Chain A
Amino acid sequence: MASTSAPRRSRPTRPAVAGPGEPLLRWSSRATTIAGIQLELARIWSEPKLVASVDGVEERRIAARTSVMNLVVIALRPEIGKRAAATIARLTGRHPSRTLIVLARDPEGRNSLRARIEAHCILPRADAPETCAEMIHLEVGGQAGRHLAAVVAPLLVHDLPVTLWWPDEPPFGAPEAEALFRMADRLVVDGSSWGGDGLDRLSRMAATVQAHGLAVSDLALVRQSRWREAIASVFDMPGLLPYLRYVRRIAVTYAAAEASAPAGGVNVVKPVYHVAWLASRLGMTVREPVALRAERRRSQGTGAAARVHAGLLEGPHGEVKVTIGPLASELPSGTTLRVELLCDRRGSELRAAITAAAETVDAQAWVDGLSVLQRSYLAPRRTDVDLLEEAVESGTRDPVAAATIRFAAELAARPSVERPDPVASEQVT
């Protein structure tokens, strides 16, 4: 990579003042070397012309530069980078960070680096000074794209935690990715966007996380917090709590284009997380990981066999059956439709069903067939900004999420004899 600073263009932007809480692009410049980027970053804050126009009069607002973390986004496609940038800009107020959005392109081409350096500012309140954070868009070409860690490392603010957001499909096990994982404190992924059923990648992620001691936030898991709330609420009732140690069956139904379609094509990370969360909270262990099998669904009555993931857990009072099955629905494939628990305590049966409705999650419970609970929880669809915010807000390690992901990986483990793991050889420790 060239060591001299290339010519650059820089311009403080002078748009009208945005309302409080609205992010605003206040500086933009370009550079083609790491040294050039560092120089531009220094120039932003020494630039006396960071001005805003208020009622037609230009005035300077004191811009406070703040960072609570380094946020590194690895975007393998330009559109992903663009979407991530928009999400992060909206996060500036709550979690100001130095953001690096890294795009590797044209691996066979010449080594190159193109960077756009921006300052995004927001007014926390109308009368407060602006808070600004830096965003650096990096396009790395040629062989350098295989060594992204070398590009990212010198641009991190020292002493601040590094969050690595990989919106697409992280190549767990690949050396170039592992180098990035090594420098991160937290990894943010979205398991529900992975190809296939997502379970192979889930297992490899768990191995990576363990190898590097990474904290991990999977947006697929973050998204389900209202569900967990609804499920937990059933057992807030003192009369129902004792049943929790006697779970016999956990069944999760998810949306698929067709119920009888091969389930291997639908990402089931979210349904698996439901089971893993419950099982890890309740001290269960995996006896048989989930595996696909054909099941004739009584409720559908069509005669078509659905392919469900079935497995077996060991609970405090015996075995617990797990089924994760599809149901024809217009909702996006893999969306959880229903979580059911069956508990059998000294001859008394508790059935709890948590179901997705249009804007709510509904919890219902029956003891020996009699309805004992019916509640609704508002569950508005959350934006990427909400999810990312919640993911980075959990701060240090979230032991519940870590245990859930670990358990999900065990639950998804593929027996190597019956089905060799095609990616096992890529794994590094």
Chain B
Amino acid sequence: VTQSTTRPRRAGTDGAQTAREARLARDGRKRPATKALDNPLREGLRLERMPDPFAFVLFGATGDLAHRKVIPALYQLWRTHLLPHEFCLVAFGRRDYDDESYRQEIRGSLEKHSRVLPLDETAWRQFSERIVYQRGDFSDDAAFERLGTRLEEVSRTAGTLGNVLFYLATQSSAFAEIVGGLGRAGLDHEVHTSGWRRIVIEKPFGRDLDSAVRLNREVGKVFRERQVYRIDHYLGKETVRNLLVFRFGNGIFEPIWNRRYVDHVQITVAEAIGIENRGSFYEETGAARDILQNHLLQLVTLVAMEPPVAFTADALRNEKVKVLRAIAEMTSAEQAGRDIVRGQYGRGWVEGEEVPGYREEPEVDPESETETFVAAKLEVDDWRWGGVPFYLRTGKRLPKRATEIAIQFKAVPHRLFADANADPEPNLLAIRIQPDEGILLRFSSKVPGLGLDIRPVNMDFTYGSSFSVDSPDSYETLILDALLGDQSLFTRSDEVEAAWTIVTPIIEAWTGMPPPEFPDYPAGTWGPEAAEELIRRDGRSWRRI
């Protein structure tokens, strides 16, 4: 078979192209028409769509991410018949394995990390037959040449039709090197004889605006934007995806989803765990880079975005980018000091166990100034949200693992029940992302009895009780999307840069400030006092989660 399935169709074949269409097409920005639109037999089959045959080249194949997430996700997709027979996992790593010993290694890690255990022996046998190991060093051009030869061989023997997905599950410092190597070996080429080529890049994508722009440029020299899938696994979570359905699939919420009715928004990404033996990584990263720049800002965009014109990758991402651009930058250190709080945990108790402080963790500088907690007050300065603060917080070693978006509505305009024992509380809509995924709406109700007591009650929807079925892991969702060529849940280059435009000035402002007095919150508490003050001074408080 010789056709490439993903090359963009020429825009305007039936008539003249506009200059803009021509430019967009040239820039690779215009998403190729989807198969579903082209092929009338695809209508109604979307959920059943099966990816084209493909080779999955996994860089960092011996690393933690590959073992814990990527390969279990692929195995699960295979086990549930969502991958074509003609697929091959080409594991690329520096360590000295051969096909068989690598398969044994994978078997061991699947037995620990697979979502469904015990392993299905038949599925594992078929899956393992499709795994090959390719030894090589990222800095060695010859290794990429050998990879190219192996891919040609795989294309012939496994029938993968030349379609290749490159997955970078390595340290971020290796991204540019790998992309360069792929480019020099010509492995990015989508010529008509060799199927599609796509690349999935893990976070963190850069460590500030400059490095993100540089990395985008390096990637852009080799791959077109439509070939690039920057992964943020939060976007693959079921509840996050449901947020779009909740907002745009229901008529009753969108009319009140604005400054007129919403008092403020709170988004919490709390982790009970510490840094889990990743001290050297975290020392270089910190909470602002690790969570705020990607997960938290992505959640803000999904809450605040305007309805997209279509449910397509670029229509969605266009709206998300607008939100990021509308978030006021922290242009001064003073502003950053006022609206952003950082913190670091000290020794304390979490889930009934005493845990060390951050500075006592392995591979961490005893004088470290790395933040393990960030709280921020941001404003989305647009027509819909002007004047509505978005309070965000994330941290390690908080009392529990919880991710939640809370839309706090304004109080009723008129105190009708002034004689009641308590004023009605303003309505609240809480979208729990993990754990106990669900949606809660709080409203006031009269307490039964002769008096007029008003109490808030909850209308609570829990995914677990309405659909007691396992949601797919976010990696399964996202890998399948990448294989199907759907970029909706992946971050576009301008989106990454816009997010860094918000976060970089904050990080830079911190470097110009006097050293923080860390640690400033005991492990097992909801962050430093300054975080409480950040919201308290506006007459509000963090939700008790």
Contact = CB atoms under 8 A, between A and B. Distances in A.
B3 A238 contact: yes
Contact of B81 (A68, A96, A378): A378
Interface string A230-241: 011101111111
Contact of A241 (B39, B43, B49, B468): B39
A225 B52 contact: no
Interface stretch (B318-326, B354-362, B459-467): B459-467
Contacts of A422: none
Contact of A237 (B5, B43, B81): B5
Contact of A122 (B3, B85, B468): B468
A166 interface: no
B2 interface: yes
Contact of B45 (A21, A225, A360, A374): A225
B155 to A, nearest CB: 14
A239 B3 contact: yes
Interface string B1-17: 11111010000000000
A66 B467 CA distance: 10
B76 to A, nearest CB: 14
Q: Is the interface of B mostly helix, strand, loop or mixed?
A: loop
B438 to A, nearest CB: 11
A278 B44 CA distance: 13
Contact of A375 (B3, B39, B43, B86): B86
B50 interface: yes
A282 interface: yes
Interface string B459-480: 0000011111100000000000
A399 interface: yes
Contacts of B7: 238
Given A125-B464, A131-B465, A377-B50, A232 B39 contact: yes
Interface in B15-68: 35, 38-45, 48-50, 52-53
A237 B1 contact: yes
B366 interface: no
Contact of B85 (A278, A360, A400): A360
A129 interface: yes
Contacts of A93: 467-469
B50 A233 contact: yes
Contacts of B44: 398-401
Chain B, interface size: which category?
20 to 34
Contacts of A131: 464-465, 468
Contact of B86 (A238, A376, A380): A376
A94 interface: yes
Contacts of A360: 85
Nearest to A231: B41
Given A225-B45, A229-B45, A372-B1, A236 B84 contact: no
Interface in A113-144: 122, 124-125, 128-129, 131
Nearest to A399: B44
Given A228-B41, A372-B1, A377-B84, A94 B50 contact: no
Interface in A269-285: 278, 281-283
A238 B5 contact: yes
B1 A236 contact: no
Interface residues of A, number: 45
Given A226-B48, A228-B41, A236-B35, A373 B1 contact: yes
B84 A244 contact: no
A398 B48 CA distance: 14
A377 B85 contact: yes
B84 A375 contact: yes
Contact of A232 (B1, B4, B42): B42
B159 interface: yes
A375 B52 CA distance: 10
Contacts of A282: 40-41
Given A229-B49, A376-B86, A94 B468 contact: yes
B465 A129 contact: yes
Contacts of B40: 244, 281-283
**Residue from the set A129, A231, A238, A401 with the largest chain B CB neighbour count within 10 Å:** A238
Nearest to B43: A400
B86 A232 contact: no
B86 A229 contact: no
Interface string B321-336: 0000000000000000
Given A124-B464, A233-B50, A235-B39, A376 B85 contact: yes
Interface in B297-348: none
B39 A244 contact: yes
B440 to A, nearest CB: 15
Contacts of A66: 465-466
A235 B45 CA distance: 13
Contacts of A240: 3
A96 B467 CA distance: 8
B25 to A, nearest CB: 16
A399 B40 CA distance: 13
B48 A228 contact: yes
A239 B466 CA distance: 45
Nearest to B52: A236
Nearest to A21: B468
Interface in A238-288: 238-241, 244, 278, 281-283
A380 B81 contact: yes
A21 B464 CA distance: 11
Contact of B41 (A64, A124, A235): A235
Nearest to A68: B466
A343 to B, nearest CB: 13
Contacts of B465: 64, 66, 124, 128-129, 131
Nearest to A65: B465
Contacts of A128: 464-465, 468
Contacts of B469: 93-94
B464 to A, nearest CB: 5
A344 B52 CA distance: 25
A380 B159 CA distance: 21
Contacts of A278: 41
Contacts of A21: 468
B161 to A, nearest CB: 9
A240 B3 CA distance: 9
Interface string B76-106: 0000010011100000000000000000000
Contacts of A228: 41, 45, 48
A402 to B, nearest CB: 10
A281 B43 contact: yes
A360 B126 CA distance: 13
Interface in A148-194: none
A312 B35 CA distance: 29
Contacts of B84: 375-377
A125 B467 CA distance: 11
Contacts of B3: 237-240
A227 to B, nearest CB: 10
Contacts of A281: 40-41, 43
Nearest to A404: B44
B484 to A, nearest CB: 11
A42 B93 CA distance: 62
B159 A229 contact: no
Contacts of B42: 232, 236
Contacts of B467: 93-94
A401 B48 CA distance: 14
**Residue from the set B44, B81, B159 with the largest chain A CB neighbour count within 10 Å:** B44
Contacts of A68: 466
11 contacts: A21-B468, A124-B464, A124-B468, A129-B465, A229-B45, A232-B42, A238-B5, A239-B2, A283-B40, A376-B84, A378-B85
Interface of B: 1-5, 7, 35, 38-45, 48-50, 52-53, 81, 84-86, 159, 464-469
Given A94-B467, A238-B3, 5 more contacts: A125-B468, A236-B52, A244-B41, A372-B1, A377-B85
Closest 10 CB pairs of A and B: A124-B468, A400-B44, A232-B41, A93-B468, A376-B85, A378-B81, A239-B3, A124-B464, A64-B465, A229-B48
